[in-house]
Structure 1
Amino acid sequence: MADYRLGIDFGGTKIEIAVLDRSGALVLRERVPNPGIYQDAVIAVRDFVFDVEARLNAAPFQNKSSGKSTTSLGIGIPGAISPETGLVKNANATWLNHQPFGKDLDTALQRQVRVENDANCFALSEASDGAGAGQRVVFGVILGTGMGGGIVCEGKVIGGRHSIAGEWGHMPLPWLRKEEFPLPRCFCGNEGCLERYLCGASLAQDWKGVGHRNTAGIEQAAAEGDTDAARALDRYVDKLSRACAMIINFLDPDMIVLGGGVSNLSSLYERVPPLLQRHVITPTCTTPIVQNMHGDSSGVRGAAWLWPVDAGVTS
């Protein structure tokens, strides 16, 4: 029997699973609602995984000498597991915070489960077999409801001492302009975080006003003469270019891959790269800024890639 790699994208409202075969091809992709209650969510993940494995006729990965078909399992969450406490931190699904999610999943599923930040999973997916495949250092960016980033070096996620490496959204917008004051307050308690400027809702509000959250149609509106749309896009491109220049100055990745709803704006890939040179401290900046390859399946695919390629191989 074939070995499978299972990945789960654990979102605030849904739990999505993807199954990859050993070549990385997608075998199955399904989702169920997230109950939004901690204990119920652990049970929902357990039942979902057991159901999928039963349909695949595959045994859970325990060790390489089991002699059985095996599956490994990785899970991406909107937060991180604290190395100090083993508890979830920084999750925007706040009911998940301060819970031993990784340990409880290990117990419920009777195996070791790898839990990682969802932006890191996105970056890993794109670095493994997506837009960043073949690049040594990839910085993956999510520009959506919130904002996050992940660093992958030579196929491995760089989590950092506190599991917060790549938390780009909670760095301040660099090279501030007078008109950008006063700084907006972020949910993290600080002011001026990149997330407050570059998430989808911020672009929508800059275009249509407070309360708007949808950026759909902004490029077409700008092309048809909507000056509010054009100016909002101009401001967004300028801020994104400064943010990317900061990444290049301290990390100098081989590629920056954009994901999330805002990444579907085609003008970003034409307009941001030429603006980098103003702030990047090198005579010529050639860092590619590209759109993701796997779309909204990239995060769940990345969760499946959390185990090394040879995990679960049986002889």
Structure 2
Amino acid sequence: MTITCFDIGGSAIKGAVAADPAALTNLGRVDTPLDDFAAFIAAIAGMLAVGAADAASAVAISITGVVDPDTGIIKCANIPCIDGRTLGADLSASLRRKVLIANDADCFALAEAVAGAGRGHRIVFGAILGTGVGGGIVIDGRILEGTAGIAGEWGHGPAAATSAGDPPIAIPRFACGCGQVGCVDTIGGARGMERLHLHLHGETLRSTTIVANWLAGDAAAKRTIECLVDLLASPLALTVNIVGAGIVPVGGGLARVPELIARLDTEVRRRILRRTDRPLVVPGTLTVEPGLIGAAILGLSA
């Protein structure tokens, strides 16, 4: 069986044909039409034509946003033309194919659980530390779909501590884009790191610069990273305790800083109930197209 899989974000649509998640035939990428649904469908249809997959084959999509499994309605602020639509049904009717859709963090977690760092573990929590904070849960090779499509979202809810570091320093409860205050998303990820650095030192720097300065031994950056890890470790440890994850692969831009993930792993293992000397929080191993791999697994296992 061959399927066509897509990884769709606010900037680009990437496609591939897959008979096996380990062997993707890349179809390239096109810009994501943000405000024109007809153009959005046409972009996907055009890549399908390039792939020349069997007319009866399914389409599997990893996408930014959350799909309610009961209604099929997607909530996606990044792509306004699909927000509020029954996207799977609409695409299926237009493309005349079965269409499967999952959140991109869920697809990352699925890819790592089946083909990456999570192989051999029953329960995998995929943590995203990119621009913001997200996650997905995979149990026995299946994505856990929560009510309204929400599960694994450890980045949201007023869970961030109000002090961090040694010696402790007060941390404000920053407002979050989800409408709450004090979310982990506000102090984790790249934007959270930048917000923390500004709060601690009155200096506006990009996250890449803060990380580079930290690795070079800069004292201010060291303090920022210390507070960041302290603020992230407790909610992530709580998530591990609740979910029972055997491994936590990390994706997103900060996963490309192994020294940072190693620090976070040490702190999380110090705070969970289960005692282990083995790494728990680890960089994801599928650094090339995990979204497409996750979508391929989703489609091929349906």
Deviations 1:32-69 (A, max 9, x none): 1112123321221122212222xxxx3133xxxxxxxx
Deviations 1:75-103 (A, max 9, x none): 11211222343221254434432122111
What value does the CA root-mean-square deviation take over the aligned residues? 2.4
Q: Distance in 2 between matches of 1:273 and 1:44?
A: 41
3-state SS of paired residue (1:247)? helix
Question: For residue 267 of structure 1, what is the amino acid of its counterpart?
Answer: E
Match of 2:18 in 1: 20
Residues 24 and 213 of structure 1, relative CA distance in 2, 3 Å threshold: farther
CA drift of 1:287 comes to: 6.0
Asked if structure 1 preserves the Cα contact closer than 8 Å seen for 2:20 and 2:296, the reply is no
CA drift of 1:23 comes to: 6.1
CA drift of 1:119 comes to: 0.5
CA drift of 1:135 comes to: 1.5
Residues 223 and 124 of structure 1, relative CA distance in 2, 3 Å threshold: closer
Deviations 1:163-191 (A, max 9, x none): 10111221333554284443111111111
Q: Distance in 2 between matches of 1:213 and 1:83?
A: 40
Match of 1:200 in 2: 190
Match of 2:252 in 1: 260
Q: Distance in 1 between matches of 2:227 and 2:211?
A: 13
Match of 2:45 in 1: 46
1:60 to 28, 33, 55: 55
Unpaired runs of at least 5, structure 1: 62-70
Q: Distance in 2 between matches of 1:143 and 1:92?
A: 18
Question: For residue 62 of structure 2, what is the amino acid of its counterpart?
Answer: G
After TM superposition, the score normalised by the length of structure 1 is 0.85
Match of 2:129 in 1: 143
3-state SS of paired residue (2:125)? strand
| Count of aligned positions | 295
Deviations 1:94-114 (A, max 9, x none): 443212211111011101100
Sequence identity, in percent?
A: 32
1:275 to 264, 267, 270: 267
Question: Which has the higher mean CA deviation after the structures are superposed, 180-189 or 258-267?
Answer: 180-189
Matches within 5 A, 1:141-290: 141-177=127-163, 179-207=169-197, 214-282=206-274, 288-290=280-282
Unpaired runs of at least 5, structure 2: none
Question: For residue 187 of structure 2, what is the amino acid of its counterpart?
Answer: Y
Question: For residue 41 of structure 2, what is the amino acid of its counterpart?
Answer: V
Asked if structure 1 preserves the Cα contact closer than 8 Å seen for 2:269 and 2:280, the reply is no
Q: Distance in 1 between matches of 2:108 and 2:48?
A: 21
Q: Distance in 2 between matches of 1:211 and 1:26?
A: 44
Question: For residue 261 of structure 1, what is the amino acid of its counterpart?
Answer: G
Question: For residue 298 of structure 2, what is the amino acid of its counterpart?
Answer: L
CA drift of 1:207 comes to: 3.3
- 1:303 lines up with 2:302 in the alignment: no
Residues 175 and 217 of structure 1, relative CA distance in 2, 3 Å threshold: closer
After TM superposition, the score normalised by the length of structure 2 is 0.88
Match of 1:134 in 2: 120
Matches within 5 A, 1:69-80: 71-80=57-66
